[in-house]
Structure 1
Amino acid sequence: MPYVDLYSSDDYASIYYRTTSNYDNVGGFDPDKPTLMILHPLLLDSTWLDNQLGDPRLYLHYNIIAFDMRSMGQSNCKPSAKHDSWVDAADLGLCCLRLHLPPCHILALETISVNAALRFALLFPEMCLSIALCSTPLSVEPRQAYTILEDLVQSWAFAEDLETLENAMSGVVKLLFGQNCDPDFIDLIIAYWETTFPPSRRQCLIETVGVLLNRAPLEAEAYEQITQPVLIVQGERNESHPHKYSETFPKHLKNARNEPVLHPIKGAGSSFSIVPGSVSTANHALVKFLSRLPPSRSDIIPPNQSVYERMKQALDRLAFLVPGKENTWDLDPISPLSFSCLHGDVVKLQLDCLDNANFKRLRAFDPLGPDGRPIQSPKLRDEHWLKSCEDGISVAEYAHSDGVCDVQNN
């Protein structure tokens, strides 16, 4: 199976990945093509990247690899209160070293993937050829959005019935992807979440959302250390990540090569990276951006340094980039948790949340039926246009206010 096992004395994570090569492994990469690494949106996984992995403009000209970040998708990890975007960046660095990946172009889709990509480029600059950012988030979560998302996730994690669970999930969809989401899109996301983030897996949910809510902004000096070419793709109707912020964001990247490129997408909202029409425009912008960069190869060769030595360098660089992280001499470079930059009070708060989530989680409400599929909401069942009559035949009907069903005749 395509997993990278990252293990140390205080941490364990098994990171799942997909590729577009034969047999779905890195060994099948075409050495004459550049490599593109894709990071999926928040609370989703690499199965939602078919619009990128299946685009011939990308897979015909690039070796593509997509990782499920820890605590999401098919990746598994030991729950940790220290999990932040620096830990995600360390995960990616270790995966690249373990797989002997060549330097990659990075495509990061929204929120925590964008934050992880920027930190990866800072810690492992020789592994990163360029950075494409879709929906650049604010440096910190706005207080109002923080409170609303926190309340919705709490209702989701500890829901005791299907109606409460779906109402909370619906609220999260509209908050993250915009208020004008298509109803079918909402149903699709909810069905996925009921399968991957049911209340019995609320530790993963709370840990993942904590990475978003408790993020700390990068220092101005850290942004100046980013020297790779940068593309910023932003939806003009993005509610959660306002377009006006993306216009000011390039000013932070003073030393990015060739100056950052800003590409707005007209009419696109918060979820354009998984919406077929908008994502096609984003892919076109990415292909155009990458075509202007120098060609690169994808030779799979062992690195010159050991994994320990390279991760120790990354840890030393982290101490240079983040104030208060200077004392790293006693930290294990092989452990991604050593790269966490959360303050002690935040770690304690998240630890309490994870402990609370673990309590009786195995006896939590299960939204899946015996077949392993989400149970359909009674509300949706009542609204279905196919109804079964007494003879067992399903026909198109309408319901009167008195509850009597009549067959619609021509």
Structure 2
Amino acid sequence: MPFVDIATADDYASLWYSTNTPYSNVGSFTPDKQTIVMLHPFAMDEAWCFPQLEDPRLGENYNIVTINTRLTGRSVCKFTGKYDLWVAAADIAHMFYHLRLPRSHIFASEVFVLVALRLAILFPELCLSLTLCNVPPQQERKDVIHGLDDILQLWCYAEDLESFEHANRDLLEFTTGKRLGKTGGSSPSSFDAKRRTLVNTLEPYEKHLASPQVDRLVDIDLEDELVAWWQVRYPPFRRACFVDMIRTFCHDHREPLMPELLSKIDTPTMILQAKDNELYPVSFAEDLQQSLIGVEDGAKLQIIHGRVGYLTIVRASIVNQFMSKFLASLRPHGPMDLRCPIKSLNARMQEALGALAALKENPAISKRSPASPISFSCCDEETAQIHVDMVKAYAKGQASAFSPLGSDGRPKRKFSERIVHWLQEEDLDGQDDIRRAKSSTEPPSVWVEPPPTDESEEVPDQPPPTGIIVRRTTEYTTTAAIIDRTKTQTQKLSVQKQLSRLLR
């Protein structure tokens, strides 16, 4: 099986990987091709690198290895509160040595950009180039952390399918940037009663969907696939794994890389950033570009129009085009060298520990065991214990938690088939109106006007639309507000009462 096992006295990890070869192993690599090591998108696994593996510009011209971290995909590990982004980089270095991988191009997106940067700092001899997509901040913003906490609470303690799907939708909007503003408009504003506009809209769905205000960032089938994967991998009865992953990569163990550390990177680098994404604004990419002063000719920055979050999935063709051109522009290197490294694994890891100790000004780091990746942890004891206590608290009672899966282990229904109450959701892409019209007896937010007919035809009287037709124009200011709809039922009823008063 394609696992790399790392076992020491204080640590154990079995890391899953895959390749673009017929048997998914590195033994089938073509020696004449260069190698790309890919890190999967946030909250996904290596299977979601398929847009790159199936693209002939990359899949046919390079040997590709896709890697799962300890906390994602089919990897398994001993639970510890000390796992952080430095340990994730050390895990990748161990995989290089165990798989005899040559110096490779590194491809990473979202939070794993920070892992790739740490790999380039400690193990520059392993990196031919860096391709970084949607660069995040060095430390997550407070509004994003608060929003993720709300998602975790609703996700982990959902008691029915509707509540769980609501949490799925919040994470979907968080990761894809689907509702972070309107196309071509100004920045989102807060939900203010003075700004709310009540419009009696009788336009047909076709006109609504063709409106320039509508930006369908993610195909509805892709939404179904993303949510189905989350429901199978992170259902409420496995919530401890979900909390461990989210809090490790976004909360507890994410310390910033100072400019003096980033200046040590001399690997050729290209940054791809979505233009209008509020979770990953262009300013983060520009700050990183300015900090990489050690890169010859500077790091290249390419801005991709749109505000998508999963850039490597939703805009895969554009990303692959930029990446293939960037790799082709680099100086050619010789064929793969599959010989054993001159230095032993322990000797090289001891050097890396010494370098990390110097960077952190902590001599104790260099005295740790070089055989264990967990020795690279820069997490203090207090933070590690807080993380352990948090995960254990979520793990209580998870065996009896709600299951969104059927007897066959699959989701009970597609995400697009869910029933949405017309007053509980805000819709900017028109899809929910179609779902509500098909599945709910409640009046939709946009009434479908019958098509025009000749006067000579006998047409039965059309019943008037029930209720008052309201076009909701709810807007938000921050990313946290986007995912702040994980409210209690009492808060939802309060919003409905406020709308009722305005409609009188």
Q: Same fold (TM over 0.5)?
A: yes
Aligned to 2:129: 130
Matches within 5 A, 1:249-328: 249-275=288-314, 278-296=315-333, 297-323=335-361, 325-328=362-365
Mapped partners of 1:84, 1:231: distance in 2:
25
Moved more, 164-173 or 55-64: 164-173
Aligned to 2:177: 178
Q: Conserved in 2, the CA contact under 8 Å of 1:34 and 1:295?
A: no
Mapped partners of 2:297, 2:222: distance in 1:
38
Residue 364 of structure 1 pairs with residue 363 of structure 2 = no
Matches within 5 A, 1:22-171: 22-111=22-111, 113-171=112-170
Q: Conserved in 2, the CA contact under 8 Å of 1:170 and 1:186?
A: no
Mapped partners of 2:269, 2:24: distance in 1:
28
**Which of 239, 251, 276 does residue 278 from structure 2 map onto?**
239
Counterpart of 1:321 in structure 2: which amino acid? L
Q: Conserved in 2, the CA contact under 8 Å of 1:8 and 1:334?
A: yes
**Which of 301, 320, 336 does residue 373 from structure 2 map onto?**
336
Shift of 1:382: 5.9
Q: Conserved in 2, the CA contact under 8 Å of 1:27 and 1:300?
A: no
Instruction: Identify if the C-alpha distance between structure 1 residues 124 and 398 changes in structure 2 by more than 3 Å, giving closer, same or farther.
Output: closer
Aligned to 2:268: 229
- Cα-Cα RMSD: 2.1
**Structure label with greater radius of gyration:** 2
**Which of 373, 384, 394 does residue 410 from structure 2 map onto?**
373
Q: Conserved in 1, the CA contact under 8 Å of 2:271 and 2:300?
A: yes
Counterpart of 1:153 in structure 2: which amino acid? L
- CA displacement, residues 167-197 of structure 1 (integer Å, 9 cap, x when unaligned): 1121122122213353444332221111011
Q: Conserved in 2, the CA contact under 8 Å of 1:130 and 1:230?
A: yes
Shift of 1:73: 0.9
Shift of 1:398: 6.3
Q: Conserved in 1, the CA contact under 8 Å of 2:278 and 2:307?
A: no
Mapped partners of 2:440, 2:121: distance in 1:
63
Mapped partners of 1:354, 1:294: distance in 2:
46
Aligned to 2:430: none
Counterpart of 1:233 in structure 2: which amino acid? L
Instruction: Identify if the C-alpha distance between structure 1 residues 220 and 362 changes in structure 2 by more than 3 Å, giving closer, same or farther.
Output: same
Aligned to 1:386: none
Moved more, 56-65 or 362-371: 362-371
Q: Conserved in 2, the CA contact under 8 Å of 1:219 and 1:322?
A: no
Q: Conserved in 2, the CA contact under 8 Å of 1:239 and 1:269?
A: no
Mapped partners of 1:377, 1:262: distance in 2:
38
Q: Conserved in 2, the CA contact under 8 Å of 1:133 and 1:231?
A: yes
Shift of 1:255: 0.5
- CA displacement, residues 296-326 of structure 1 (integer Å, 9 cap, x when unaligned): 2222221112211111111111112224x33
Mapped partners of 2:174, 2:318: distance in 1:
23
Counterpart of 2:328 in structure 1: which amino acid? S
Instruction: Identify if the C-alpha distance between structure 1 residues 258 and 370 changes in structure 2 by more than 3 Å, giving closer, same or farther.
Output: same
Residue 189 of structure 1 pairs with residue 226 of structure 2 = yes
Mapped partners of 1:20, 1:147: distance in 2:
38
Counting strand residues as a fraction of each chain, which structure ranks higher?
1
Mapped partners of 2:374, 2:438: distance in 1:
57
Moved more, 1-10 or 21-30: 21-30
Q: Secondary structure at the match of 1:23?
A: coil
Mapped partners of 1:184, 1:344: distance in 2:
44
**Which of 259, 264, 269 does residue 220 from structure 1 map onto?**
259
Structure with the bigger RCO (C-alpha within 8 Å, sep 6+) is 2
Shift of 1:22: 3.7
TM norm structure 2 = 0.73
Q: Conserved in 2, the CA contact under 8 Å of 1:79 and 1:203?
A: no
Aligned to 1:209: 246
Q: Conserved in 1, the CA contact under 8 Å of 2:223 and 2:415?
A: no
Instruction: Identify if the C-alpha distance between structure 1 residues 41 and 401 changes in structure 2 by more than 3 Å, giving closer, same or farther.
Output: closer
- CA displacement, residues 219-253 of structure 1 (integer Å, 9 cap, x when unaligned): 22110110100100011122210013212321100
Shift of 1:336: 1.6
Counterpart of 1:303 in structure 2: which amino acid? P
Counterpart of 1:103 in structure 2: which amino acid? R
Shift of 1:379: 9.1
Q: Conserved in 2, the CA contact under 8 Å of 1:237 and 1:270?
A: no
Counterpart of 1:235 in structure 2: which amino acid? A
Matches within 5 A, 1:384-395: none
Instruction: Identify if the C-alpha distance between structure 1 residues 288 and 344 changes in structure 2 by more than 3 Å, giving closer, same or farther.
Output: same
Q: Conserved in 2, the CA contact under 8 Å of 1:72 and 1:208?
A: yes
Residue 15 of structure 1 pairs with residue 54 of structure 2 = no
- CA displacement, residues 108-127 of structure 1 (integer Å, 9 cap, x when unaligned): 0212x101100111111101
Instruction: Identify if the C-alpha distance between structure 1 residues 334 and 199 changes in structure 2 by more than 3 Å, giving closer, same or farther.
Output: farther
Matches within 5 A, 1:388-403: 401=441
Aligned to 1:390: none
Mapped partners of 1:83, 1:110: distance in 2:
18
Q: Conserved in 1, the CA contact under 8 Å of 2:279 and 2:309?
A: yes
Instruction: Identify if the C-alpha distance between structure 1 residues 27 and 166 changes in structure 2 by more than 3 Å, giving closer, same or farther.
Output: same
Give me the identity figure in percent: 37
Mapped partners of 1:308, 1:315: distance in 2:
10
Q: Conserved in 1, the CA contact under 8 Å of 2:357 and 2:364?
A: yes
Counterpart of 2:380 in structure 1: which amino acid? H
Counterpart of 1:175 in structure 2: which amino acid? F
Shift of 1:70: 1.2
TM norm structure 1 = 0.89
Count of aligned positions: 386
Instruction: Identify if the C-alpha distance between structure 1 residues 257 and 356 changes in structure 2 by more than 3 Å, giving closer, same or farther.
Output: same
